A and B are shown apart, each in its own frame.
Chain A
Amino acid sequence: MAVRIIEVRERVMARNDELAAGVRERLHGAGIPAFNLVSSPGAGKTALLERTLDALGDELGISIVTGDVQTQNDADRLARRTERLVQAVVTGGACHLDARQVDTALDALDLAATGLLFIENVGNLVCPASWDLGEEAKIVLFSVTEGEDKPLKYPKMFREARYAVFTKIDLLPHVPFDLERGRRCALEVNPTLQLFETSALTGEGLEEWFAFLRRAVHPAPVPG
């Protein structure tokens, strides 16, 4: 038999990145900033989005794509807060969303009436870090019920993110979480991270979060 070598030299993520570039171009063309929300399970992505929809859903024209391994529970929760379609992606076992799923999900959304898109990824601090979905930025949520050293344990996710949101800060009096140490750990991994501190329960810190989202949709004109 004749054994021979076929040189390939092709990146495994090439196809996903190609699709992500298409999603990015599509969203950019429609003038829609898109944020990919990532966190460990239970960090409060859906709760933060519920409060965000209540406050800004109509004002900013927020559309949402949710990803879950099983069930549409998150999408159902969010759909109660908005007239817009909340597009659910059930991954059926996969631990992350990929660009193809997001591209398909966009087909179901009314992009002409969308001013801001959130992609609520599968709760997982490892795998979603590797998949570009065509978003403008990843936003990592970090609950105060987790350890302060979470960024050191999952550095890729915190390096890939441009923003980090501490959640459930209403629990600070009841949990042994050192917020200053949490900030230090996050900034040690990624010194350019912009931090937010929020409670979806009490509303603390949400005004700053909302102001950030308003600026994302309506950026200030460049002077000159």
Chain B
Amino acid sequence: MHELSLALEVCRLAEVHLAEAPATSLRNVAVEVGDDANVEVENFRFCLEALLSAPPFGAARPTILRCAGPTLRIAYLEVDDGRPDH
């Protein structure tokens, strides 16, 4: 159940970082989740998928990176800055 709280905090942090970057849309949020992080991974993924597919994100996806220990942190955001490829 607390996975929803954690997912909401991931989204809040993503919004903070997106506001600081000239990015137009979020494509992917990668989150490192340790084996001892007290997180049920599939539940967490489900919550993230639901939140990231809604405004203000639109169609972003989560990537869960499993690791050892109690780690629970956002690793990176993958964004599309709207500029054409070179």
* A interface with B by C-beta (< 8 Å): 1-13, 15-16, 94-96, 98, 124, 126-127, 129-131, 156
> Given B5, B13, B78, which contacts A94 in the complex, CB threshold below 8 Å?
B5
Closest 8 CB pairs of A and B: A127-B2, A95-B1, A8-B74, A6-B77, A2-B83, A11-B73, A12-B72, A130-B38
Interface residues of B in 36-86 (CB under 8 A from A): 36, 38, 72-86
Q: For A94, give the chain B residue with the smallest CB separation.
A: B5
The docked-state distance in angstroms from the alpha carbon of A1 to that of B73 is: 27
> Given B38, B73, B75, B77, which contacts A156 in the complex, CB threshold below 8 Å?
B38
Q: For B12, give the chain A residue with the smallest CB separation.
A: A15
Question: Which residues of B have CB within 8 Å of A94?
Answer: 1-2, 4-5
The docked-state distance in angstroms from the alpha carbon of A66 to that of B34 is: 31
Contact (Cβ within 8 A) B74 A9? yes
- A34 vs chain B, min Cβ distance (A): 21
- The binding surface of chain A is classed by DSSP as mixed
The docked-state distance in angstroms from the alpha carbon of A160 to that of B86 is: 52
- B51 vs chain A, min Cβ distance (A): 13
With A2-B82, A126-B38 as given contacts, are A7 and B76 in contact (CB-CB < 8 Å)?
A: yes
Question: Which residues of A have CB within 8 Å of B84?
Answer: 1-2
- The binding surface of chain B is classed by DSSP as mixed
Q: For A127, give the chain B residue with the smallest CB separation.
A: B2
Residue pairs across A and B with Cβ atoms less than 8 A apart, 5 shown, are A2-B81, A3-B27, A5-B76, A6-B77, A12-B73
Q: For B86, give the chain A residue with the smallest CB separation.
A: A2
Contact (Cβ within 8 A) A1 B80? yes
Question: Which residues of A have CB within 8 Å of B1?
Answer: 94-95, 124, 126-127
Contact (Cβ within 8 A) A9 B73? yes
- B26 vs chain A, min Cβ distance (A): 9
Contact (Cβ within 8 A) B72 A8? no
Contact (Cβ within 8 A) A5 B10? no
Contact (Cβ within 8 A) A1 B72? no
Question: Which residues of A have CB within 8 Å of B77?
Answer: 5-6, 8
